[in-house]
Amino acid sequence: MRLLYCLLIVVLVGCGGSGGSSSDADPITPDPAPDPTPDPEPGPLDETLGTLITRAGLSGDAAFNRTLPDIADPLPQLGKKLFFSKSLGGEFDSACVSCHHPALGGGDNLTLPVGVGAANPDLLGPGRVDDNLIPDVPRHSPTVFNVGLWDSGLFWDSRVESFGKEAFANGSVSDIRTPDVAFGLADPDAGPNLPAAQARFPVTSAEEMRSNFLAGETNAALREHLAARIGNYGAGQGELLSNDWLAEFQGAFASTADAETLITFDNIALALAEFQRSMVFTSNPFAEYVNGDLDALTNQQKEGAILFFQTVDEGGGGCANCHSGDRFTDELHHVIAFPQIGPGKGDGTDDDFGRARETGDDNERYHFRTPSLLNIAVTAPYGHAGAYESLDQVLQHYDNPGNETEDFFDAGGVCQLSQFEGVPDCENLYPAAEANTELALQKLAEERNSGDSLFENPNLNGNERADIVAFLESLTDPCTVDRDCLAPWIPTRDEAPDENQLNAVDAGGADL
């Protein structure tokens, strides 16, 4: 569906193209390899890689067998306006897009997000700060691209989780657990799929969107109030200066019902979900290669792909042990022991217990959901705490987690990260970070000793790491670095039916 849109754009203005974009500002697309033969026979690299691709069972279409909405559909259009609306922020200063902008890879390009209280609420990405310069949100903001492709759970710890995890269903077939209910229970209000269930939560987080608005009241009461604000009824009446949302909802839901009936939080969450589910960015050079275009990858990328898919015994990186399938994730949780920085979700210890915090099972301490690697070139920084700013650091970590984390702390821990430049007394911000990371490393060592870890030491040299990085970059959809191609997911300046649309700018004041 989006492909169709892009095709249309290609005809009109050019859609970034695939594989060989000519723009030299484009950091993603590798220089097209000089190619002596226009239609080459498969070389030895192609034969090895082809065998590995078959073994990995890849289809070349990460969105295979899914029914996902088109951004031109009415519900995603409504969802777009809500996603960009500060009216869903308790104090009108934060929107979903504050941490998930399409032009920032569907995230915020920060180590840790800054939600409410930003000095300039409309400034997104590097330079977004609140008054003490210290980000308050405990985990790195993951991309919302391809969120319609998860079947198991959302969040780094899958605390929004499908019971049945049915393939291709995005959580729509069986019950869903959310943080509103205890682990193992179904949330009767979760809605039709994982993204709809997830969309009920950012508005309830004081750091992300809520501030102190209705502090102490239940999540349900808060959501009802926000719906009433958007719908201009009951307790929320008159909270917006201008309000034309009813017409938008009536159009999107093809209904003439009144605001109380139509503008409920369930319907807000549904529209937000449909908007996000329309963000399918799965066309990339590697997928083209899997589909038979042997020229779509450079030789270096082919070498990197081979290393990625080969097991450690075969001399590779063993990456596909966890980053498996067309989306490069098993949707399971593992300990990798990336540096533990920031306030974390460890109940006041600056630690982050990961999956164990949900399941209560200490064996899952420091386990995080395997990220998809699609569009990885535009979603830095990396990991649940955003500690690594480059893919090279990630690869060095896989090579030797103990050394790389030690280097990270020797180089100043968070203080070396661009987001923490100029933070006063930075060295003393998270005094337990190194010790907490050490605990995660110990957990990894225990699991390795007992044979429970899929993470083997790959022993990659510098060239091999660079090859893998080159391969990883080929997993990025050219549309994600092309503002024109992204335009359908970004509202024009005055599209919202009230005064609170977030029109994002970068630190230099340029429109995103």
Is residue 323 a contact point for ligand HEC (CB under 6 A)? yes
Among 84, 145, 156, 408, binds ligand HEC (CB under 6 A): 156
Is residue 391 a contact point for ligand HEC (CB under 6 A)? yes
Determine the interface stretch with ligand HEC among 165-173, 176-184, 294-302, 391-399 (rule: CB under 6 A). 391-399
Supply the DSSP symbol for 406: H
* Cα distance between residue 452 and residue 443, in whole Å: 11
* Cα distance between residue 336 and residue 27, in whole Å: 28
* Cα distance between residue 87 and residue 67, in whole Å: 30
Closest approach of ligand HEC to the CB of residue 38, in Å: 32
Closest approach of ligand HEC to the CB of residue 454, in Å: 4
Determine the interface stretch with ligand HEC among 27-35, 39-47, 53-61, 150-158 (rule: CB under 6 A). 150-158
Is residue 98 a contact point for ligand HEC (CB under 6 A)? yes
Closest approach of ligand HEC to the CB of residue 76, in Å: 13
For CA atoms 188, 191, 197, 200, the dihedral sign is negative
Backbone torsion region of residue 105, taken as left when φ is above 0, otherwise alpha when ψ lies between -120 and 50, otherwise beta: left
Q: What tokens were used for 314?
A: 């075969």
Of 249 and 455, the one with the shorter C-beta distance to ligand HEC is 455
Among 265, 353, 398, 489, binds ligand HEC (CB under 6 A): 398
Of 114 and 485, the one with the shorter C-beta distance to ligand HEC is 114
DSSP collapsed to 3 states, 249-299: HHHHCCCCCCHHHHCCHHHHHHHHHHHHHCCCCCCCHHHHHHCCCCCCCCH
Closest approach of ligand HEC to the CB of residue 347, in Å: 13
Is residue 322 a contact point for ligand HEC (CB under 6 A)? yes
- Helix or strand (DSSP H, E) at 302: helix 299-309
Is residue 500 a contact point for ligand HEC (CB under 6 A)? no
Is residue 179 a contact point for ligand HEC (CB under 6 A)? no
How many degrees, rounded to 5, is the angle at CA 366 between CA 363 and CA 368?
A: 105
Among 253, 309, 382, 408, binds ligand HEC (CB under 6 A): 382
Of 225 and 384, the one with the shorter C-beta distance to ligand HEC is 384
Q: Using alpha carbons, list the distances in angstroms from residue 509 to 202, 260, 484.
A: 26, 39, 19
Identify residues 58-97 at the interface with ligand HEC (CB under 6 A). 88, 94, 96
* Cα distance between residue 360 and residue 383, in whole Å: 22
Q: Which residues pair with 85 in a beta bridge?
A: 501
> Binding string to ligand HEC for residues 199 to 238, with x set by CB under 6 A, is what?
x--xx----xx-----------------------------
Closest approach of ligand HEC to the CB of residue 438, in Å: 15
Sheet holding 176-177, edge to edge: 153-154, 160-162, 176-177
Among 19, 69, 231, 458, binds ligand HEC (CB under 6 A): 458
- Number of residues in contact with ligand HEC under rule CB under 6 A: 53
Determine the interface stretch with ligand HEC among 65-73, 152-160, 292-300, 495-503 (rule: CB under 6 A). 152-160
Of 9 and 88, the one with the shorter C-beta distance to ligand HEC is 88
- For 145-189, the DSSP string reads TTGGG-SSEESTT--EEESS--TTSTT-SS-EE-TTS-TT---TT
Is residue 127 a contact point for ligand HEC (CB under 6 A)? no
Q: Which regions of 422-500 does DSSP assign to beta strands (E)?
A: none
Find how far residue 386's CA is from the centre of its chain. 12
Query: What is the signed CA dihedral for 400, 406, 411, 416, rounded to 10 degrees?
Result: 80
Among 290, 468, 481, 502, binds ligand HEC (CB under 6 A): 468
Counting every residue written for the chain, the total comes to: 512
User: CB of 334 within 8 A of CB of 398?
Assistant: no
Of 9 and 436, the one with the shorter C-beta distance to ligand HEC is 436
Of 2 and 327, the one with the shorter C-beta distance to ligand HEC is 327
Residues that bind ligand HEC (CB under 6 A): 88, 94, 96, 98-100, 113, 115, 137, 139, 141-142, 144, 147, 154-156, 195, 198-199, 202-203, 208-209, 272, 276, 308, 317-319, 321-323, 334, 336, 338, 368, 370-371, 373, 376, 379, 382-384, 391, 394-395, 398, 454-455, 458, 468
